[in-house]
Amino acid sequence: MQSLINNIKTRIVLSENEIDIIKRLFRKKAIKKGEKILTGGEVCRSLYYVSEGLLRHYIYYNDKEITIHFSEENTFACDFISFLNQTPSEKTVEALEDTELSYITHENLKLFYRDIKYGDRFGRILLEEIFLTAIQHITSVYTDSAEKRYLNFLSSFNRLQQRIPQFYIASFIGVTPQSLSRIRKRLSKN
C-alpha cells in the first residue's frame, strides 16, 4: 500500500487523515500469471494499481489478439472507457506474471474524489498522462516505421523487454514476430 500512497503523492499533497482514507478505499488483490482482471464484454468496475508484477492489455480484432498496452509496477491499469462509463469493455487485461494489485471500485473512487482534498486533481492528472501516452502510441502506429515503433517501445518499456514474450512485443508494435526478429538483428548490428 505504501507504493500506492507514494505514487499518489507524486501528483497531489496528502494529509495523514487522507492517507488513512485511501487505505480504507483501496483493497489488495493477488493474481497468478495468466489470470485476468478484466475480460472483453465485462464492465470494468475497478481501477487497479500494480504494486508488483506485469499486466498485458489486449483486444480482439479480425479474430486476432492485438496487444495495446502493458502495465508494470507503479502504474495504474484499467479500461478507462468502460470504467468511467460503466459500459462493457472491449479490452482484456491479464497477468503476464504473478501480480500484486491494489484496487479501488468505481463507487469508492467517487468517495476518493469527495473526501480527498485534491482527489479530483489526481484523477485529472492521471487521465491526462494516460491520454498523452495513448495518443503518442496511436500516432506512432500510423506515422512511424516498424523499427521506430520498436525503438519507441524500448524507450517506454526498456526494463520490461526481458519480461515480455517477443510475440506480444511484436503485436504491440504491429508486426509479425519474424519481422521483429529482423528489426532486432538489424539494430544489434548498428
Residue 189, pLDDT > 90, answer no
pLDDT in tens, 120-153: 999 999 999 999 988 988 898 899 999 999 999 9
As a whole number, the mean pLDDT across the chain is 94
Return the percentage of the chain with pLDDT > 90, whole number: 87
What's the pLDDT at 45?
Answer: 96
Q: What is the 3-state secondary structure (H, E, C) of the chain?
A: CHHHHHHHHCCCCCCHHHHHHHHHHCEEEEECCCCEEECCCCECCEEEEEEECCEEEEEEECCEEEEEEEECCCEEECCHHHHHHCCECCEEEEECCCEEEEEEEHHHHHHHHHHCCCHHHHHHHHHHHHHHHHHHHHHHHHHCCHHHHHHHHHHHHHHHCCCCCHHHHHHHHCCCHHHHHHHHHHHHHC
Burial of 152 (0-12, 13-18, 19+ CB in 10 A): middle
Q: Which residue has the cell 468505481?
A: 106
Q: What's the whole-model pTM score? A: 0.90
Local confidence band at 190 (pLDDT 50, 70, 90 cut-offs): confident
What's the pLDDT at 156?
Answer: 85
